Amino acid sequence: MKRIFAMIAVAAVAVAGCGGGGGGGGAGNRLSIATGGTTGVYYVYGGGLAKQLSANIANTQATASVTSASVENIKLLASGKADIGFSQADTAADAVNGKDTFTAKQPIKAIARIYDNYAHVVVAPGVTAAKVADLKGKRVSLGPANSGTQVVARRMLQAAGLDPDADITKQQLSINESVQAAKDGTVDAFFWVGGLPTAGITDLATSKPDMKLLDTGDVLEKMRATYGEQYVPLDVDLSTYKLSGTIKTVGIANVLLVPDKMTDQLAYDITKTLFEKKAELSAVHPEAKKLDVKLGQQVAPVELHPGAARYYKEKG
């Protein structure tokens, strides 16, 4: 009987030891991937990543969860309720520095920089606005609470000389809700920060081709002066959304994050799967084509997880 109890105890320790980095557990690795809204790129990309991790890491079952994105994802990682999280680099920088949304430094590490997000400022049909400053007095969604979109939206409005709490009628809608509100005429504009294309905006442009995407190049230098070079200039070819023309906008890198207590081997396996299954992930969403081992290491000021660093070192 003692021997049976000893075997059970050893088995329990073994199972606990191979759980996910923050909140994983059960038989093998049960990995929860914190993504974003269902019509955003994080969710699509995360679903593809979950499939590849489940198929390529032994005894692993990964699932993608719908969230409010960056801020919430980091809080889920820090509290042990998620094992992998998508985030904008600006929000991740705030997290490791304990600034703005975060009152303390968050216990996270990075696996990879993956692709750049584009700030979208979408103007509903029939609304007159040519630049961010023109949103004064209008009904505007800044993105959901606890999202990276809301962080960027507030900073863009401030760079345009507007107070996001006083100069607009503020709403906090998800990408799905924002698209529907623009269709219904219950918002005049909304912010969204994501990859190209974002399915919800494609849907809106298809049903309401008189919608507009604003050129936001005029607020970039003020944002860079205030918050640093994490904000970069990007061009959007509007044919991506079956519209005409090109606009300039604010770009923000995206990073994949994990809890700092994740085991080195699991972090290594996740990083290896991410890059070695690039073709499969690209078939799920074209932003995965941007995966690059050299670019992947550029995650400052967040530190690379030692397991991820080992993978990059092997790749030379």
148-189 pLDDT, tens digit each = 999 999 999 999 999 999 999 999 999 999 999 999 999 999
pLDDT band with cut points at 50, 70 and 90 for residue 230? confident
Question: Do both 68 and 94 map to the same domain?
Answer: yes
Q: Given 252, 268, 299, which residue is the final one in a domain?
A: 252
Q: How is 78-93 classified by DSSP, letter by letter?
A: HTTS-SEEEEEHHHHH
Instruction: Please report, for the domain that includes residue 244, its CATH number.
Output: 3.40.190.10
Prediction pTM value: 0.87
Partners of 316 in the β-ladder: none
User: Could you tell me if residue 5 is inside a domain?
Assistant: no
- Taking the alpha carbons at both ends of the chain, their separation in whole angstroms is 52
Span of 1-5, 23-27, 121-125, 208-212 with lowest mean pLDDT: 1-5
- pLDDT for res 6: 38
Q: What is the pLDDT of residue 10?
A: 34
How many CB atoms neighbour CB 110 within 10 A? Answer: 27
**Type and span of the H or E element at 206:** helix 199-207
In tens, the pLDDT along 26-36 reads: 458 899 999 99
CA dihedral 207, 189, 36, 284 (to 10 degrees): 40
User: What is the number of domains present in the chain?
Assistant: 2
* Domain boundary, last residue among 252, 268, 290: 252
Say how far apart CA 108 and CA 65 lie, in whole Å. 18
Domain of residue 212: give its range.
Answer: 118-252
